[in-house]
């Protein structure tokens, strides 16, 4: 990757005045830069744009490949404004542990250290901070918003009903404070997240739990020197002398830098040849297995009916049942595909779409093994799909569960009155006024909705029982949330591990020595690209921003993203996309609400 080469060269020039060269007796060090947020799956337009943004698996594979390079002595991981989720940190960290087990020294370098940098640093031999940098980690803070008073003031009546005492999905809109059940649920989740965090820091930095707490008390707002004193940082080092520092601490006569290639970079169009351009644009991208293959089917974002989208109303991907069923039918029909991994990172969504995807997994499972890898979250509809797999892997802090149902509507008649809007309603049919926007439900209508929700919950519970026969729903259902480590103990998940561990274990189960890994849904054609371009919402294709919307919602979304930051905005965005499902479906499977972690 050109960026990696340039970065490594810059360090060499600054560190010793001239680029080090490979020579006998030199110590070979690889530079790996991580910036931004790694994507979960390759862009469907990689074949068109080239220079694709690296995926999480690209980074993991690069590190694991380096682990097997006998000529390599060390890996320096440089974080440049990286925004990593907890699951991504675990999976990259597991690869770094693999490299250390193979005798490689791993050094992490960052300008500043927050929670993400410290967690990833726990998987390194040494943690370096730029001279003058800061360490900022006050702990884990979870913020929830309760909007009942605001909605009442605005004239909006949220008639949301949930099945599952611990679900909590309706409480943001219907309460001014959490219920006892939801408070217990979210407190247990927060304890699990914080417990995993402190355990990881303690194990990686050689500290007891008490020492970790003491260290966190010092670095809530600290400089690099305090971080060193607290034992979470090894040294303050100016980037300009990083090469010299490594040489002195590795007893190396000479440091020879190389770069870690990340990803294939995709293909690109030869713009000097118009015939080549037309030929490429007119063809359908090839996505056919050439030898024995493990397929990864990605379920990312809110689960919805219809086609998946790379950019929904509020940004972020959505997982469409039609797109995913087509992908599942494709992998079922391909003889060279020997096993399937469903990679889930979803808060849930449409109950109907979740069932449709589950049925697709059942079809595939009748002929091929289907395993599941959970990223940051498989909640509600996401877990509904997960139990369709033969085996489930999760990361330690993956959010799992939320077996429950929420449904309802927003009655805005009082808002219309405040705005002096006069609404005339006309209807035909016995239930036509059920979802009128200006009228709240009466008791009979609410009872009917509860009945339908109970049917959906019973179906959800039956899917869980069939996929996880040993599970105790009295301890796991009713909307309860768990982290991955807790989910394993409860039988909701089979093992702790990331995507790479899932692939390796499935290949071993299948007896595959040499195999390919292919991602589904596959690449899209130029016609698909043009359709995406004209939809009016932002779509990222191979690092190029397409069709950026400029309407009021786009402006609001951009402002919220800038205010909250990318990681917290992604949580709010998925919740908003899921809430929009109530326009079309009165009953949905969605995780409780936006959980904003700091």
Taken in order of first residue, the domains within the chain and their CATH numbers are 2-137+219-259 (3.90.226.10), 294-522+565-597 (3.90.226.10)
Q: Report pLDDT for 20.
A: 36
Q: What gap in Å lies between CA 570 and CA 574, rounded to an integer?
A: 6
Written as six digits, the tokens of 576 are 């908003």
Classify residue 369 by burial, with Cβ atoms within 10 Å: 0-12, 13-18, 19+. Answer: middle
For residue 392, list its beta bridge partners: 372
Would you list the DSSP string of 338-392? EEEEEEEEE-EEEHHHHHHHHHHHHHHHTTS-EEEEEEEEEETHHHHHHTTSSEE
Look at strands 105-110 and 74-82 and give their pairing: parallel
- Residue 400 — φ and ψ, nearest 5°? -130, 140
pLDDT at 493 > cutoff 80: yes
Best CA proximity match to 425, nearest among 437, 414, 416, 417: 437
Q: What whole-number percentage of the chain has pLDDT above 90? A: 63
Q: What gap in Å lies between CA 48 and CA 285, rounded to an integer?
A: 9
Do 493 and 391 contact (CB within 8 A), yes or no?
Answer: no
Q: What gap in Å lies between CA 129 and CA 148, rounded to an integer?
A: 45
Q: Report pLDDT for 14.
A: 30
Mean local confidence (pLDDT), 13-21: 33
Q: What gap in Å lies between CA 588 and CA 582, rounded to an integer?
A: 7
Do 589 and 351 contact (CB within 8 A), yes or no?
Answer: yes
Q: What gap in Å lies between CA 351 and CA 356, rounded to an integer?
A: 9
Mean local confidence (pLDDT), 560-584: 55
For residue 518, list its beta bridge partners: 295
Mean pLDDT of the chain: 83
pLDDT at 355 > cutoff 60: yes
Mean local confidence (pLDDT), 555-565: 52
Q: Report pLDDT for 481.
A: 96
Give Cβ neighbours of residue 146 (< 8 Å, ≥ 6 apart). 171, 172, 175, 176, 177, 178
pLDDT band at 545 (very low <50, low <70, confident <90, very high): very low
- Weakest mean pLDDT among 40-54, 73-87, 108-122, 329-343: 40-54
Predicted structure pTM score: 0.83
From residue 517, alpha-carbon distances to 190, 216, 288, 291 in Å are 35, 41, 11, 10
Q: Report pLDDT for 54.
A: 87
Peptide bond before residue 73 is cis, with ω within 30 degrees of 0: no
Terminal Cα-to-Cα distance of the chain (whole angstroms) = 33
CB atoms within 10 A of CB 550: 9
Q: Report pLDDT for 16.
A: 34
From residue 453, alpha-carbon distances to 288, 335, 401, 409, 585 in Å are 42, 40, 18, 13, 11
Task: Give tens-digit pLDDT for 88-131.
Answer: 999 999 999 999 999 999 999 999 999 999 999 999 999 999 99
pLDDT at 49 > cutoff 70: no
Q: Pseudo-torsion of CA 187, 405, 449, 432, nearest 10°?
A: 120
Task: Give tens-digit pLDDT for 244-265.
Answer: 999 999 888 788 888 887 865 4
């Amino acid at each position: 990757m050109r960026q990696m080469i340039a970065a490594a060269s810059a360090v060499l020039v600054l560190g010793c005045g001239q680029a080090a060269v490979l020579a006998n007796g030199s110590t070979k060090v690889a530079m790996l830069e991580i910036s931004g947020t790694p994507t979960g799956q390759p862009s469907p337009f990689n074949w068109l744009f080239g220079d694709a943004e690296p995926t999480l698996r690209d980074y993991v594979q690069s590190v694991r490949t380096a682990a097997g390079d006998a000529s390599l002595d060390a890996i320096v991981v440089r974080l440049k404004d990286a925004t990593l989720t907890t699951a991504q940190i675990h999976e990259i960290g597991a690869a770094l542990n693999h490299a250390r087990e193979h005798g490689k020294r791993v050094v992490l370098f960052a300008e500043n250290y927050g929670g993400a940098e410290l967690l990833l640093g726990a998987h390194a031999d040494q943690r370096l901070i730029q001279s003058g940098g800061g360490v900022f980690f006050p702990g884990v803070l979870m913020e929830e918003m309760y909007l009942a008073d605001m909605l009442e003031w605005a004239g909006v009546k949220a008639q949301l009903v949930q099945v599952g005492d611990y679900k909590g999905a309706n409480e943001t809109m219907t309460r001014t404070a959490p219920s006892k059940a939801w408070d217990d649920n979210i407190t247990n989740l927060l304890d699990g997240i914080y417990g995993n965090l402190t355990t990881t820091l303690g194990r990686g930095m050689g500290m007891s739990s008490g020492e970790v707490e003491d260290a966190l008390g010092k670095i809530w707002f600290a400089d690099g020197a305090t971080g060193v004193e607290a034992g979470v940082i090894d040294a303050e080092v100016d980037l300009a002398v990083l090469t010299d520092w490594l040489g002195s601490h590795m007893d190396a006569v000479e440091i020879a830098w190389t770069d870690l290639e990340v990803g294939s970079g995709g293909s690109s169009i030869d713009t000097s040849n118009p015939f080549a351009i037309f030929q490429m644009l007119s063809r359908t991208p090839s996505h056919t297995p050439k030898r024995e293959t493990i397929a990864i089917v990605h379920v990312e974002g809110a689960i919805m009916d219809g086609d998946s989208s790379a950019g929904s109303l509020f940004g972020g991907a959505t997982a469409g049942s039609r797109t995913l069923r087509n992908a599942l039918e494709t992998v079922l029909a391909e003889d060279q595909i020997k096993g399937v991994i469903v990679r889930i990172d979803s808060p849930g969504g449409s109950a109907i779409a979740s069932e449709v995807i589950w049925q697709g997994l059942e079809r595939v499972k009748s002929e091929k093994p289907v395993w599941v890898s959970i990223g940051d979250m498989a909640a509600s509809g996401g877990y509904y799909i997960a139990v369709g797999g033969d085996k489930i892997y999760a990361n330690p802090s993956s959010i799992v569960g939320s077996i429950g149902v929420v449904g309802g509507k927003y009655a805005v008649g009082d808002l219309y009155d405040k705005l002096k809007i006069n609404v005339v309603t006309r209807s035909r049919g016995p239930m036509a006024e059920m979802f009128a926007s200006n009228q709240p439900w009466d008791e009979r209508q609410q009872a009917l909705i509860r009945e339908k929700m109970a049917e959906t919950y019973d179906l959800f519970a039956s899917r869980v029982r069939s996929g996880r026969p040993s599970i105790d729903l009295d301890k796991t259902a009713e909307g309860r949330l768990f982290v991955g480590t807790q989910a394993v103990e409860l039988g909701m998940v089979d093992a702790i591990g990331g995507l790479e561990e899932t692939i390796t274990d499935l290949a071993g189960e299948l007896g595959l020595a040499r195999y390919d890994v292919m991602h589904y849904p596959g690449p899209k054609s130029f016609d698909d690209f043009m359709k995406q371009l004209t939809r009016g919402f932002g779509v990222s294709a191979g690092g190029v921003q397409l069709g950026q919307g400029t309407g009021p919602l786009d402006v609001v979304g951009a402002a919220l993203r800038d205010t909250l930051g990318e990681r917290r905005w992604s949580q709010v965005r998925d919740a908003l996309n899921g809430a929009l499902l109530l326009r079309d479906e009165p009953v949905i499977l969605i995780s409780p609400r936006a959980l904003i972690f700091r």
